[in-house]
Amino acid sequence: VVVLLDPDSVPQPPQKVLISCFGLTVAEARLAHHISTGRKLEAIAEELGIRYETARNHLKAVFAKTQTHRQSELVALLATLANGPL
């Protein structure tokens, strides 16, 4: 399955939803929110003022808690949450 999303128009679920649905920490939810924009992890880490390795650790935790394995899967999941049920 290939999911193509325009980063400028991808709806994003509120961070509170990510925390309550998946048990993400505030830091993990913030990172997931930024990942949903389609930007690279390096740029997100810099913007958040955290080390790249810290961002990678947060992303690994997000993958585990959301049962996703790739950023593209995570973005698709977050877009689905933001759009509501099908």
**Rounded-to-5 percentages of helix, strand, coil across the chain:** 65, 0, 35
| Total residue count of the chain as it appears in this document | 86
Is 86 within the bounds of a domain? Answer: no
Predicted local distance difference test score (pLDDT) of residue 3: 56
pLDDT tens readout for residues 48-83: 999 999 999 999 999 999 999 999 999 889 888 876
pLDDT tens readout for residues 23-52: 999 999 999 999 988 889 999 999 999 999
Predicted local distance difference test score (pLDDT) of residue 86: 45
pTM of the model: 0.80
Give yes or no for a contact between 12 and 34, defined as CB atoms under 8 angstroms apart: no
CATH no. for residue 26? Answer: 1.10.10.10
User: Which residue segment(s) compose the domain that 43 sits in?
Assistant: 15-80
Is 65 within the bounds of a domain? Answer: yes
Whole-angstrom distance, CA of residue 54 vs CA of residue 57: 5
Whole-angstrom distance, CA of residue 37 vs CA of residue 18: 15
**How many alpha carbons lie under 13 Å from residue 50 in its C-beta half-sphere?**
16
Under the banding of pLDDT at 50, 70 and 90, the label for residue 15 is: confident
